[in-house]
Amino acid sequence: MVTSNVSKTAGSLVSQWTFAGRALELESSVIRDILKVTSQPEVISFAGGLPAPELFPIEGLKKACQKVLEEIGPPALQYSLTTGVPPLRRYLAGRVSKQGFEVDEANIQVTAGSQQGLDLVGRLFLEPGSVVITEIPTYLGAIQAFNFYGAKYVSVDMDENGVLIDQLEDKVRASKPRIIYIVPNFQNPSGITLAEERRHQLVEIAKRYQVPIIEDNPYGELRYAGKEVSSIQSIGGDYVIQLQTFSKIISPGLRIGWISASKEIMALVERVKQATDLHTNTFCQYVITEFAKDGSLDRHIEELKVAYSERRQVMLDAMQEHFPEEVKWTKPEGGLFLWVELPRGMNSAQLLDKAVEKKVAYVPGSPFYAQTIGENTMRLNFSNASPEKIVEGIRRLGQVFKENLPKKS
């Protein structure tokens, strides 16, 4: 039987065959590994970045599936354009234009979620040793995508208003980056939003040093407090390549995102996308177009905002009540995450075992830093658990913190 052969030879085949060096260096996502540990059903997990499953628009999608198969029929199941199906691209052009950057469908590339957007950006711009400017902390999925292309990172510190612009300019000048990678709204992991004035300054730097800005914007539509700010693309136009996704506002399982940029860049993006997977799922592109039309998506987003806004407030209130006063945290105006800072000397990665013993989980902060700092930080998600579970989870976490505070000297 062939299978017995398998186990005998397999290990040695991996050592006999020659692989691409960089493919072997890739690390599995730390978060995905942690999720395996923390996914026991009794654990209240703030570790993932999952949307609330009970808010998925199942009825709306069911109707959309029927309608697409009945009214569009075979073309919804056939090969389609690499750039994306035209009705969806027209719809997306309308959404991007509302931000203030007037575009048409030729400025839109549909992607298999934002992660593919990041991979395509990497394909297009990065070669071994290419410098990427990032915020610190920054989004891990981007690091994972860019690592494959051999990127080097130059990180810029943040305060409560986002990246420090002077430091960013110094580092752009010194490091000659290929791209500036920014998550400007309710950043994953910190929850921080880049202030309006700094967005204008950022665009000036991009123009001065001729570096494109990659605006990664998965959460921009999920604002629960504070004032709207302009998208960087609406300020910087062609100097910006914006990535967005339906993952947080409809469903991540459909894997539909989009890139908006100048038509010249789009021609290059189309070419790298074609070699990767020909095109994105035709059927789900039509289903989303059908579901979203006539303002339905906007109404659904309003419902999400009501629910997530409550969860955010519940978490902030519970932290106020249960966390020791030495612990600090961000108060994000939107998105899915907030960021906790423990007193120096505490190590959130070591503490995770004790938290899981008490049936509560989070993601330690240090993987979000390129350097080995941030040991005393962690990311908490507030979109996935119910308000009741959030309160109970934060109570448990507060207990873990109190029992492990460093001794006062």
Of 25-54, which residues contact a copy of itself (CB under 8 A)?
26-29, 32, 48, 50-51, 53-54
Residues 6+ apart with CB under 8 A from 174: 154
Nearest distance, CB of residue 243 and a copy of itself, angstroms = 13
Indicate which single residue of 38, 45, 190, 234 sits in contact with a copy of itself (rule: CB under 8 A).
234
Euclidean distance between CA atoms 43 and 374, whole angstroms: 24
User: What is the nearest approach in angstroms of a copy of itself to the Cβ of residue 245?
Assistant: 11
| # of chain residues touching a copy of itself (CB under 8 A) | 100
Side chain identity, residue 157: D
| Shortest spacing between CB 342 and a copy of itself, in angstroms | 28
CA distance 281 to 65: 13
Shortest CB 239 distance to a copy of itself, Å: 7
> Interaction with a copy of itself in 69-128: which residues (CB under 8 A)?
69-70, 73-80, 82, 100-103, 112-113, 115-116, 119, 123-127
The span from the CA of 402 to the CA of 321, in Å, is 12
Tokens of 203: 């665009």
Residue with Cβ nearer a copy of itself (96 or 346): 96
153 token code pair: 């990172």
Q: Which is nearer to a copy of itself, 96 or 136 (CB)?
A: 96
Interaction of residue 252 with a copy of itself, rule CB under 8 A: yes
Task: Please pick, from the candidates 172, 259, 265, 391, the single residue that binds a copy of itself as defined by CB under 8 A.
Answer: 265
Report d(CA 45, CA 49) in Å as an integer: 10
Nearest-approach distance from CB 80 to a copy of itself, in angstroms: 6
Judged by CB under 8 A, the residue of 237, 324, 343, 387 near a copy of itself is: 237
| Smallest distance from a copy of itself to CB 162, Å | 22
Residue 308 is inside which H or E element, if any?
helix 296-322
Nearest C-alpha neighbor of 237 from the set 258, 216, 263: 263
Structural Rg of the chain based on CA atoms: 22
Please give the Cα distance from 158 to 99 (Å, whole number): 25
Dig out the tokens for 267 from the structure.
């021609």
Task: Check residue 14 for interaction with a copy of itself (CB under 8 A).
Answer: yes
Contact flags string 124-143 toward a copy of itself, x per CB under 8 A: xxxx--x----------x--
